Chain A
Amino acid sequence: MDWNNMCQTFNDKDNVWSWQYTCEIFPDLLDAMWVTISATFVAYFVALILGLFLTLGRRSPIRPVKWFFQGFLEFVRGTPPLVQLFFIYFGFPEIPYIGFEMSAFTAGVLGLGIHYSTYVSEIYRSGIEAVPKSQWEASKALNFSKGQTWLRIVLPQAIPPVIPMLGNYLITMFKETPLLAAITLMEMLNMAKFIGAKYFDYLEPFTIVGFLFLLLSYPSAILVSKLEKRMNRRFRQKNA
């Protein structure tokens, strides 16, 4: 049976809340949800990688490098993400020589990724600072290079305890993706707005979007808190 035919069985178009309408628009919103989800994960990936570079850059022994990263961090954290998104999508292409146009998706994941990389960097920093100085000293005594010390000794101890915190930021970023509607990306919110405008009926699409967000973020939050408990247990054991 065709989806739309099935929806017509509700036959309640005149009600304030119409299940028929809800049913009809649902596939489009579900499609938009995939845009939201993929934007979240790509932006998160950008944040995780860039955050690591920010963290390492801030610890550079070379002063100007350190200042550059510190300045970048303060700048990004001190300006609203929406302004950053507008700048990247609308402003950046106009800059001579270096500017180029990007799709809304690319600009969006870059903007969100860069913004959240500063928070992720803060988390990495707390993880790294929790690794005792003696681990660095033991690495030096065994003549590991700087890179080996980071890669083999420090990061493997710094990252696992902060995984739950990183998970929380994944959920936060997921909930921030509606910002991308502002730069024309057809994610869930934008799609709901589009549908609402088309049929002059906003109640159902926005409600569905809200529920879809809840449906995804709530179980994720539970998962993260489970993870947190497990990490705590593991960490306690190691330090016992």
Chain B
Amino acid sequence: MLKKGCMGRLNKKVVEHKSYQVKDPIVRYNDITKKFGDTVVLNNLNLEVGRGEKLSIIGASGSGKTTIIRMLMTLEKPTSGTIWVDGDYLWHKEVGGKLVPADEKHMRNVRGKIGMVFQQFNLFPHMTILRNVTEAPIRVQGLSREEAEERAVTMLEKVGLAEKVDQYPSQLSGGQQQRVAIARALVMQPKVMLFDEVTSALDPELVGEVLEVIKDLAREGDMTMILITHEMDFARDISDRIVFLDEGRILEQGSPDKILENPDSPRIRQFLSRFIGNSSVSGLATTK
């Protein structure tokens, strides 16, 4: 929230140049193109995300939003271009000044800096809540069971589910499952957290509890967050910057106020107008 003003000032320059200068980038997409067969999903994308920045990506379905973060999680391989994360290339390795495709070991190293929460929660159904959260710290980071459980309980308390440790995912509501999924990602202490439409699969009455958890997380500050969302109120609340994606390109980016209330592009106005009436767009209603 504090950064909003400063981002707002930057904003004018941004719209003019279409590229956005970030002071201390932690993620950089350089000329990223992604094709599925003949379909171009992302077209020469250049995007930088600042350390600690809260970035929301909005746009119509099929605009390539999800692909952006799936590539960062190494779930999707870019067709061309490079992605750089906190000092290292993600899909490439520098050997003698040249970039070569990265091996699994290198990718695991870089991947460790990133965490992700999925639309469908994707908890492990055969494990208790506690094991869902402790399994990766123990197996991947080599923590002792005691350490891992201590960390896990702290995280589960943070998302308000410490009393559910012994239950199985199927015994929890969707909102609770998603909060566990957030704890499961957080416990790995990633530098960058990705949220892929994390409330889209939830019943409307369960959306709030999940968004509250993410808002708290955003307020704490340090963590870089990239969110894909259709919750415009929420995006306005927590974002330092909003990127509007259209047909695989960044159409416009800037402060939430700028993009949600006064976008330059008629395409964005048209997109936002669909949210009128369900109070999801605060710029067009009076909610805050």
State yes or no: do A and B come from one complex.
Answer: yes
* Chain A residues near B (Cβ < 8 Å): 134-135, 137-138, 140-146, 148, 152-153, 156-157, 160, 237-240
Q: Is the CB of B126 within 8 A of A148?
A: no
List 7 extra interface pairs beyond A138-B123, A141-B118, A142-B188, CB under 8 A.
A143-B112, A143-B136, A153-B124, A157-B126, A237-B170, A238-B126, A239-B170
Q: Is the CB of A156 within 8 A of B136?
A: no
Tell me if B115 and A141 are in contact (CB < 8 A).
Answer: yes
User: Does A156 contact B73, Cβ atoms closer than 8 Å?
Assistant: no
> Is B74 within 8 A of A134, CB to CB?
no
Decide: A140 near B188, CB < 8 A? Known: A148-B139, A152-B139, A237-B170. Answer: no
B125 close to A157 (CB less than 8 A): yes
Interface string of B146-184 (1 = CB under 8 A from A): 000000000000000000000010100000000000001
- Which of A137, A144, A146, A238 sits near B75, CB closer than 8 Å? A137
A95 smallest CB distance to B (angstroms): 39
Query: Is chain A's interface secondary structure helix, strand, loop, or mixed overall?
Result: helix
Return chain B residues, CB-CB under 8 Å to A237: 170
Q: Which residues of chain A have C-beta atoms less than 8 A from B247's C-beta?
A: none
Q: In angstroms, how far is the closest chain A Cβ from the Cβ of B109?
A: 9
A238 touches B185 (CB 8 A): no
Is A238 in contact with B136, judged by CB distance below 8 angstroms? Answer: no
Which residues of the partner chain A approach B139 to less than 8 Å between Cβ atoms? 144, 148, 152
16 contacts between A and B (CB under 8 A): A134-B118, A134-B120, A135-B122, A138-B123, A138-B124, A140-B75, A141-B115, A141-B118, A142-B115, A142-B140, A142-B185, A145-B108, A148-B140, A152-B135, A157-B124, A157-B126
Whole-angstrom CA separation of A138 from B116 in the bound complex: 8
Q: A144-B140, A237-B170 are in contact. Are A137 and B122 (CB under 8 A)?
A: yes
**Cα distance A172–B24 in the bound complex, in angstroms:** 66
Q: CA of A146 to CA of B107 in the docked complex: distance in angstroms?
A: 12
Given contacts A135-B122, A135-B124, contact A238 B168 (CB under 8 A): yes
Inter-chain contacts of B258 with A (CB < 8 A):
none
Q: Which of A135, A140, A145 interacts with B73 by CB under 8 Å?
A: A140
